[in-house]
Amino acid sequence: MKHIPLLTALLLAATWADIPQKVKLQNQEVVRQAARSLSANLPKRIDDFTQLVAITPKDQILQYTFAIETLQSDAQILKRAHDTMIPRIKKNICRSNRRFIESDIAIRYNYIRQKGKKPLFSVDVNRTVCDYLSE
C-alpha cells in the first residue's frame, strides 16, 4: 500500500510525457487535412502579379506557395518584400490563422518566380511571431 502513491505518480508522469507527442501527431494530421482541403481550388489568382499555386503540409507547418509574375528584378521584389510585404503578411497571418497559431501550427508563405519557379523569399509565422506582434 505504501507504493500506491509512487505508482500513481509514475503513471501520471508517463501519461503527461506522451501528451506533447500526441499533440504533435494530431497537429500533423490537421495540417495534412487542411492542405488537402484548401488546395481543392488551386491555382487561385490573388492580384495582378500573384497566384496561389500550392498548399502543402510539412510536419506542423502549413505551407502556401505563391508565384509572382512581374518584370521587376529579384532585387526589386526582395526590397519591396522586406520594406512592406513581410510585415503586412505576418500581421495578416496572425489575424486570419489564429486557431492554427494558437495550436502551435506554423504558417509558411513561400514566394517563387512564376517563370522558372525560382525561390524568392519565405515568411514563417508561429506563436512567437504573433505574440511579439501583439505586444
CATH of the domain at 121: 3.30.300.250
pLDDT the model gives residue 13? 54
pLDDT the model gives residue 22? 81
pLDDT the model gives residue 5? 63
CA distances from 78 to 53, 72, 106, 112, 118 (A): 20, 10, 22, 11, 13
Which of 46, 47, 64, 51 is closest to 100 using CA atoms?
A: 64
pLDDT the model gives residue 23? 80
> What residues does 42 pair with on adjacent strands?
none
Q: How far apart are CA 71 and CA 108, in angstroms?
A: 25
pLDDT the model gives residue 16? 47
Q: How far apart are CA 91 and CA 120, in angstroms?
A: 20
Number of structural domains (the chain) is 1
Chain-centroid distance of CA 128 in Å reads 12
Which structural domain range is residue 76 located in? Answer: 4-133
In the predicted model, residues of the chain with pLDDT beneath 50 are 1, 16
